[in-house]
């Protein structure tokens, strides 16, 4: 009975960890610049990894394995923010600028909307000439 | 259960590898490498549980230590253009 309960709790923790890991990985692919990508990666690196390690603690019970898992957890929680800070500081010093909101919109428009804009331009010009002047 | 978790970690790792290959700047690749290292620790630990061989956890601990040392070394290299050997030589 207690073993079954332990396995269920461990499974829930592992499932939650897997969810956060995959969410972080998808975020790393979809975010537009380095600093937002770091934000997405920190989800997987803290929540995902620690939830999975806690799930494995439930699987292991009171053994030496648990002690090692807690060492691993403490080390990851200690070094993750330090590495993130060092990475952000190095990127800023190397001249990587954070993407601002209006820049992001313009960039997204120019990057993904090239085909759409090419198709839209003649029609839009005919309909509203004022919209052309607003474009930077 | 453990196999499913292992599969999920591998899927997340594959997605991060895509970012590491696509990443426009070096720092994107470095961020992805750090994430891949964290996932690799999880893969080692879960594989140890899957095959009932807890020795894999020691490998995971070692990998965590080496991963962070490696990331800091690469960061320092890109920040100063060297690993700081000249500064040490000047001091003595």
For chain A, 136 residues long, give each residue's pLDDT as a single digit of tens.
888 999 999 999 999 999 999 999 999 999 888 999 999 999 989 999 999 999 999 988 888 999 999 999 999 999 989 999 999 988 888 888 888 877 656 555 555 444 444 444 444 444 444 444 444 4
Question: In this structure, is residue A22 part of a structural domain?
Answer: yes
Residues in chain A: 136
Question: In this structure, is residue A136 part of a structural domain?
Answer: no
ipTM over 0.90: no
Question: In this structure, is residue A128 part of a structural domain?
Answer: no
Question: In this structure, is residue A25 part of a structural domain?
Answer: yes
Query: For residue A41, with 0-12 CB atoms within 10 Å meaning exposed, 13-18 middle and 19 or more buried, which class applies?
Result: buried
Q: How many CB pairs under 8 A join A and B?
A: 134
Q: Which two tokens stand for residue B88?
A: 């040490």
Cross-chain residue pair A87–B1, CB shorter than 8 Å: no
Question: In this structure, is residue A41 part of a structural domain?
Answer: yes
Q: Is the pTM of this model over 0.80?
A: no
Interface of B with A (CB under 8 A): 1-2, 4-5, 8-9, 11-13, 15-16, 18-19, 22, 25, 27-28, 30-32, 34-35, 38-39, 41-42, 45-46, 49, 54, 57-58, 60-61, 64-65, 68, 71-72, 75, 78-79
Q: Domain range holding A97? A: 2-123
Question: In this structure, is residue A135 part of a structural domain?
Answer: no
Number of independent structural domains in chain B? 1
Number of independent structural domains in chain A? 1
Residues with Cβ < 8 Å from A86, sequence gap 6 or more?
B71, B72, B75
Question: In this structure, is residue A132 part of a structural domain?
Answer: no
- Among residues B19, B84, B9, B54, the alpha carbon closest in space to that of A38 is found at B19
Cα–Cα distance between B26 and B49 in angstroms, integer?
A: 35
Pick A25's closest partner by Cβ from B12, B65, B72: B12
> What does the DSSP 8-state code read for residue A136?
-
The CA-to-CA distance between both ends of chain B, in Å, stands at 57
Q: State residue A113's pLDDT score.
A: 45
Alpha-carbon Rg for chain B, nearest whole angstrom, is 17
Q: Domain range holding B19? A: 2-91
Question: In this structure, is residue A62 part of a structural domain?
Answer: yes
Q: Which long-range contacts (CB under 8 A, 24 or more apart) does B75-80 make?
A: B75/A86, B75/A87, B75/A90, B75/B30, B78/A90, B78/A94, B78/B26, B78/B27, B78/B30, B79/A89, B79/A90, B79/A93, B79/A94
Cβ atoms within 10 Å of A116's Cβ, excluding its own:
10
Phi-psi bin for A98: left (phi > 0), alpha (psi -120 to 50), beta? beta
């Amino acid at each position: 009975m207690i073993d079954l309960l332990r396995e269920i709790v461990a499974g829930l923790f592992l499932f939650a960890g897997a969810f956060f890991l995959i969410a972080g990985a998808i975020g790393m692919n979809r975010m537009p610049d380095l600093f937002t990508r770091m934000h997405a990666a920190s989800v997987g690196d803290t929540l995902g990894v620690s939830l999975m390690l806690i799930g494995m603690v439930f699987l292991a019970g009171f053994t030496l394995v648990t002690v090692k898992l807690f060492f691993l957890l403490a080390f990851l929680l200690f070094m993750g923010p330090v590495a993130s800070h060092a990475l952000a500081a190095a990127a800023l010093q190397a001249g990587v600028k954070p993407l601002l909101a209006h820049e992001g919109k313009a960039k997204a428009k120019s990057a993904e909307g090239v085909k759409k804009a090419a198709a839209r331009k003649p029609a839009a010009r005919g309909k509203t000439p004022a919209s052309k002047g607003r474009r930077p | 259960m453990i196999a499913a978790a292992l599969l999920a970690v591998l899927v997340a790792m594959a997605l991060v590898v895509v970012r590491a290959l696509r990443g426009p700047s070096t720092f994107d690749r470095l961020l992805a490498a750090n994430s891949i290292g964290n996932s690799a620790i999880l893969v080692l630990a879960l594989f140890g549980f899957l095959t009932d061989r807890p020795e894999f956890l020691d490998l995971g601990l070692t990998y965590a230590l080496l991963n962070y040392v490696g990331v800091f070394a690469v960061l320092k290299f890109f920040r100063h253009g060297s690993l700081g050997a000249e500064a040490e030589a000047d001091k003595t």
